[in-house]
Chains A and B, each alone.
Chain A
Amino acid sequence: MSNVLVVVEIAGGKARKASFSAIAAAREMVKGGGAFAILVAGAGAAGAAADVVAYGASKVIVVDDAGLANQVCEMFAPTLVAVTRSGAFDVVVMTATSFGKDVAPRVAAKLGAGYASDISGVRAEGGKLVIRRPMFAGNAYGVCEITTPVRVVSVRQSEFAPAEPSGGSSPVETTPFAGPDPAAARVEFVGLETGKSERPDLGDAGVIVTGGRPLKERFASVLDPLANLLGAAVGASRALCDAGHAPPELQVGQTGRIVAPKLYFAIGISGAIQHLAGMKGSKTIVAVNKDPEAPIFQVADYGIVADLFTAVPALVEELKKG
């Protein structure tokens, strides 16, 4: 029996798509009995609550406060802890977004709870949760249990398909903001710069086109036509981001975003372990690389040994023929 609290993030006044992976994980956890509730916390949470009432939660708890306007973990943590305690929840689950990774361990520490991060699977077994999580850049999986009465986990978005609505309408209740953590007095939110992109987020995209080092300053001019045609998100290798040819938030890999789209194009990507760690869960992988020995071909379903500067435009033309 688990009494699970799912923490849902808000983006642009709506429940963030990534958070539906956490709902999917919560459904797995309560298969052995129990129930889950959803907490929507943030400025504008009251409006976003409607997005999550049809997912089978016992209730949707709303904390809507201007103090939660920015994702500063010292502002959120006390509220997450207060809701966990007052509802006697024994599991807290979030998606391992950049915010989830920031705040979940802090919440765990406040609760004296063990924290398993970025998990790829969970199974209820008696009163226990058997957790599976990738390690060593995805080259091994660890099977673990959290030994504390309260358990906190973050789930890898690419490993849990977003929950679909199950119908019904969970009751919505409002709970007050628990106030800032004392440490919040020493943190000031200065600003958030986001790339002004019309494209889907890397975590949500069904198709991703990722470019590597050889693209250099032609990163956008070569990949944009392909991405636009496919409605794809654009990603980049670490080398390309480090060299300043692509913004850091586009980095795919162990240290960047971990993705598993339906279709992944690796363009001029050699296939370093750290990159593979971020994309090898993709359903179909296409690689374009000049070097026939590039390690990317060992994981690609379809590979073309070719110069990307001719192959990518040719691919665009071929796709246009429909």
Chain B
Amino acid sequence: MKILVPLKRVADPDNANKIKVTLSKIETTGLEWKPNPFDEYALEAALRLTENGANTKARLGEVIVVTFGPKETETTLRGALATGADRAMRVDVTDDQLDGDLVARALKTLVEREKPDLVLLGKQEVEGDANQVGQILAEHLGWPQATAAGTIKSEGDKALLVGREVDGGALTLKVTLPAVVSVDPRIVAPKSVQSVHSPAHTYADGVRFSALMAIMAAKKKPLADVKLTDLVSDVALKITYTAFEAPPARKAGVKVKTVEELVQKLRTEAKVL
């Protein structure tokens, strides 16, 4: 199976509370760049689908990673290559030149060139929290989509049985490839992905780490630069941001000593019981 995994780098999501909004602009100064966690889950799932879990050194398919960003986002791509992806592409552009629709349209051209069987991506990136690129891409390609996948089972590399996490439960779809699948965090649980090569394999929970040797070897893996205008002629944005605001501050309340005091305050002060 050939899989395309779009990745984005984001400001360290575990320190997102340190983001400052000054003069209507977002400041992420001092925050580290990290790969979007959902995209890391997608990459992990892609690797699991293209290997035998008992012998992960032999690649049994191809995983191509692509990012949209300036030169320094090559770090994100090299990290993905070190984890096991086979080759990488970087579309040279900055975040303010992009919206979800433009990314999806550019990806469409890349998909037509590369002809993957599957586009596997995070259900949202944790900066814009927009949750739309996969769906828009699927529509532009005329492909089926399965969003918020918590489980994926390959059916002979021809179709996927996808367990989607939906409000109130799990919805299972069978999608015939090629298709677009976006993933939820549970996709990296030990038995969430069943590849055709080792369906019964139990993985370590979470995403894999790269060995030092792999980090060195990743420097030699192919990484191609692509111009955005080679992929799309219309680079106009469909959404423009005019300002950013800080969220309303929430003050810390009081600590109570006993449950009696708590119930009394909920009844008489907050009046919520």
Chain A, 272-300, CB within 8 A of any chain B CB: 272-274, 280, 283-286, 292, 297-300
Render B22-33 as a binary contact track against A, CB cut-off 8 A, 1 for contact.
000010000000
Q: Are B100's CB and A187's CB within 8 A?
A: no
In the bound complex, residues from chain B placing their C-beta under 8 Å from that of A273 are 13-17
Within A172-204, which residues are at the interface with B (CB < 8 Å)? 181-184, 186-195, 201-203
Give the contacts of B232-273 with A (CB-CB under 8 A). 236-247, 250, 252-260, 262-263, 265-266, 270, 272-273
Which residues on the B side are within 8 Å of A292 (C-beta)? Answer: 255
When distances are taken between beta carbons in the complex, the residues of chain B under 8 Å from A54 are: none
Task: From known contacts A144-B241, A186-B176, infer whether A106 and B136 are also in contact, taking CB-CB under 8 Å.
Answer: yes
List 18 A–B pairs whose Cβ atoms lie within 8 Å, in order of A's numbering. A98-B166, A105-B136, A106-B139, A108-B101, A114-B101, A115-B136, A137-B13, A137-B129, A145-B240, A146-B238, A148-B238, A183-B145, A188-B175, A193-B171, A194-B169, A263-B270, A302-B255, A304-B259
B173 within 8 A of A: yes
Q: Are B244 and A146 in contact (CB under 8 A)?
A: no
A72: B residues at CB distance < 8 A? 173
Q: Of A19-27, A30-38, A254-262, which binds chain B?
A: A254-262
The reply to whether A188 and B17 contact each other, CB–CB distance below 8 Å, is no
Contact B241 A142 (CB under 8 A): yes
Is B109's beta carbon under 8 Å from chain A?
Answer: no
Question: Are A146 and B239 in touch, CB under 8 angstroms?
Answer: yes
The closest CB in chain A to the CB of B142 belongs to A183
Tell me the interface secondary structure of chain A in the complex: mixed
Q: Which of A108, A145, A194 contacts B168 (CB 8 A)?
A: A194
- Interface of B, secondary structure class, is mixed
CB distance from B241 to the nearest CB of A (A): 5
Given known pairs A115-B100, A249-B169, the reply for A109 and B242 (CB within 8 Å) is no
From known contacts A142-B241, A297-B252, A303-B256, infer whether A183 and B144 are also in contact, taking CB-CB under 8 Å.
yes
Which A residues are closer than 8 A to B by beta carbons? Answer: 18, 71-74, 77, 97-99, 101-106, 108-110, 113-118, 132, 134-148, 181-184, 186-195, 201-203, 207, 230, 238, 241-242, 247-249, 254-255, 257, 262-263, 272-274, 280, 283-286, 292, 297-305, 311, 314-315, 318-319
A80 CB, min distance to chain B CBs, angstroms: 12
> Which of the 9-residue segments B59-67, B183-191, B218-226 touches chain A?
B183-191
Closest to A101 in B: B131
Beyond A190-B174, A284-B266, A297-B255, is A101–B147 a contact (Cβ under 8 Å)? yes
Q: Are B169 and A183 in contact (CB under 8 A)?
A: no
Which chain B positions have C-beta within 8 A of A318? 259-260, 262-263
4 closest A-B pairs by CB: A114-B238, A194-B169, A301-B253, A109-B139
CB-based contact A144/B126 at 8 Å: no
- The answer to whether B173 and A189 have CB atoms under 8 Å apart is yes
Measured between beta carbons, the chain A residues less than 8 angstroms from B259 are 304, 311, 314-315, 318
**Is the CB–CB distance between B135 and A102 below 8 Å?**
yes
Task: Decide: A183 and B138 in contact? CB cutoff 8 A.
Answer: yes
Asked if A116 and B142 make an inter-chain contact with CB atoms under 8 angstroms apart, the answer reads no
A139 touches B16 (CB 8 A): yes
- Specify which of B176, B240, B247, B260 is in contact with A140 (CB 8 Å cutoff): B247
Distance from B165 Cβ to chain A, minimum over Cβ atoms (Å): 5
- With beta carbons under 8 angstroms apart, the residue of A97, A105, A272, A280 that contacts B135 is A105
> Does A187 contact B174, Cβ atoms closer than 8 Å?
yes
The answer to whether A300 touches B252 (Cβ under 8 A) is: yes
Please tell me if the beta carbons of A302 and B252 are within 8 angstroms of each other in the complex.
no
Q: Assuming the A-B contacts A110-B139, A304-B262, are A140 and B126 also in contact, with contact meaning beta carbons closer than 8 angstroms in the complex?
A: no
A101-B147, A314-B259, A315-B262 known; A143-B241 Cβ under 8 A: yes
Q: Name the B residues within 8 Å of A186 (CB-CB).
A: 143-144, 175-176, 179
Q: A117-B132, A135-B127, A241-B186 are in contact. Are A201 and B168 (CB under 8 A)?
A: yes
Other than A101-B147, A311-B259, give 16 A-B pairs with Cβ distance below 8 A. Answer: A74-B144, A105-B100, A135-B128, A135-B244, A143-B242, A147-B237, A187-B146, A187-B174, A201-B167, A255-B38, A255-B184, A255-B185, A273-B15, A298-B252, A302-B265, A303-B254
The A-contacting residues of B in range 202-220, CB under 8 angstroms, are 205
